[in-house]
Chains A and B, each alone.
Chain A
Amino acid sequence: MTLWLMAGLLFTPLAWAVLTLMVDFRKGRLVTWLGMAVQVLVSLGLWAAVASDGGFLYLLGGWQAPLGIELRVDGLAVTFVLLTALVAAACGWHASIYLDPGKPWHRYFWPLFWFLWAGLNAVWLGGDLFNLYVGLELISLAAVGLVALGGQADALRAAIRYLMAALLGSLAYLLGVALIYGQFGTLSLAGVTELMNSGDAQSGQTFPLVLMLLGLALKTALFPMHGWLPPAHGIAKSPVSALLSALVVKASFYIAARLWLDLGGELGGFALAQLIGVLGSLAIIWGSWLAFRQTKLKQVVAYSSVAQIGYLFLLFPLTWGVTEAISLQAQQGITLQVISHALAKAAMFLAAGNLIMSVGSNRVDALAGVSRFLPFSLFSFGLAGVSLMGLPPTGGFAAKWLLLQASLASGQWWWLAVLLAGGLLSAAYVFRVYRASFIESTDTDQFYHPSRSLEVIPMILALMSLGLGLVAEPVLSVMSLPFEGGGQ
């Protein structure tokens, strides 16, 4: 049973990618609808299987590491696989209506979309450092292609800048992998951890870990290396921006987090953990402030991503040198933050796309009067904003509450100020968009009405992010399921 599920999960996205490469936009759309249904069902099946039987290690084709590909299917991985399936299916559905079939280059959306999905699944499940690199590169190249789909010079400039940053980040990561392999002679993350704990390797140097974290932080757009993100996410088509913000930046963060949790205890240090935390805090403050200052709607949402990514990096100080219980609390808070931000930000970008489509301009002040014409999309935007602010009962609230408790329990009270300031600042930029849209005196009467399904999709995502706070307990319990040893 799990064999079929794994095959369905990993093989079919590549198959859909190749299939859609050969057909035009409309046929590609049909293939993708079928594929998305299969992926969502398979992901749900795998999640249910892991929730009932626990995680397992899966050797692709029965080959042992290091030549074979080793997949670790644990609770955290399947949670992210399921999240990817839900968010990507929503974005794909939105794109199938939103993108103009008349433009010949739009047909390349589908193969890129599927390659991206395949890369994401590979990263969530990857158990060895080199395959994580391959997965990361697959994601980056597909994501750059999707940004370039806009077609104009500005879109290409953003895409090239993104590509350069992503390539540099990957190489830094790969150099770290080379050094780790040179030292330990194994690529498996579990193997490296084991060697390090058994103590027969010479005392670990921090440099490879710092190098890998640096590369991954560049790819995750941690302050001050965030310069490539807002242009790329702002200029891409809305479904693409939603995919990039919700899922793509999370992939490199996920690898950084796994590295830190496995190796950070030995190789990291107090100063390194605090430094990363401080950079994350600066990202929260500076990103929110810039989001408040932007004149274009999608730039507001893109800078808000920079800020929300900052929260994720609080994982590093909150899990170093603390007790097991506090570390677990911080990990749960960060995971909830990843999930709720993915749902909320996807909803926000899709809703922003609808609003822009309706008023025909991407400026915030052009939204005047739209509240009467497009209340549904505006409401989704606001619901997603509520989750970003961290008001109860949203997923964002549950995440920040856990982080707050972890920082108090570990005596690192200074993160508290950051958490509070971040919430207030995000309220400021969300309300600014609202204020613009409720201005009644406007000379425009021409509003384009997007189709109903375009408006429903962001609403579903926003409601899911809202409801996450209520179902946080079962989600968290599946997430922390450990392995149960080779259950192929």
Chain B
Amino acid sequence: MTPSLLYAFAGVALCGIGLFGFLRLQHLLRKLMAFNLIGSGVFLVMVGLAQRNGQPDPVPQALVLTGIVVAIAATALAVVLIRRYYHLSGQTTLAEPAAKSARPKARSVNREGAPE
């Protein structure tokens, strides 16, 4: 049981907690936080598990840097979408609105009809 293996196990635990939150939480921002938690867990597993004769392996560290960039991009996109969605619908969850508001019928030629 080396310290780095401990990191890997911590990563697995983080993944588990994150996955639980991701599936159970309804609020979109919380879901997003849970996604980031899973991501951190995966990165820990990646760095902790890869060992070369007791020495840390530099390659996964380079990969994790790329992974962090990707995760930031995804988080930024999700935050923008969630914010816009909240402005338009006033909702913070993905639940369908119970009563559909009557939509104005007029539509330009290019609009493909609202979903109902």
Partner-B contacts on A (CB < 8 A): 66-67, 98-100, 130, 133-134, 137, 140-141, 144-145, 148, 150, 152-154, 156-157, 159-161, 163-164, 167-168, 171, 174-175, 177-179, 181-182, 185, 187, 234-235, 237-238, 296, 298, 353, 356-357, 360-362, 448
Contact = CB atoms under 8 A, between A and B. Distances in A.
Contacts of A175: 15, 42, 45
A168 B81 CA distance: 17
A67 B59 CA distance: 7
Contact of B88 (A100, A130, A145, A156): A156
A93 to B, nearest CB: 16
B89 A153 contact: yes
Contacts, number: 120
A134 B67 CA distance: 8
Given A67-B62, A137-B74, A174 B67 contact: yes
Given A130-B66, A178-B46, A181-B50, A362 B113 contact: yes
Interface of B: 8, 15, 22, 28, 31, 35, 38-39, 42, 45-46, 49-50, 52, 57, 59-60, 62-63, 66-67, 70, 73-74, 77-78, 81-82, 84-85, 88-89, 91, 94, 96, 107-110, 112-115
A126 to B, nearest CB: 14
B43 to A, nearest CB: 8
A100 B22 CA distance: 37
Given A178-B45, A185-B57, A156 B85 contact: yes
A19 B113 CA distance: 31
9 contacts: A137-B73, A137-B74, A164-B35, A177-B46, A181-B49, A181-B50, A181-B59, A185-B57, A360-B113
A360 B62 CA distance: 52
Contacts of A298: 112
Nearest to A173: B42
Contact of A153 (B39, B57, B88, B110): B88
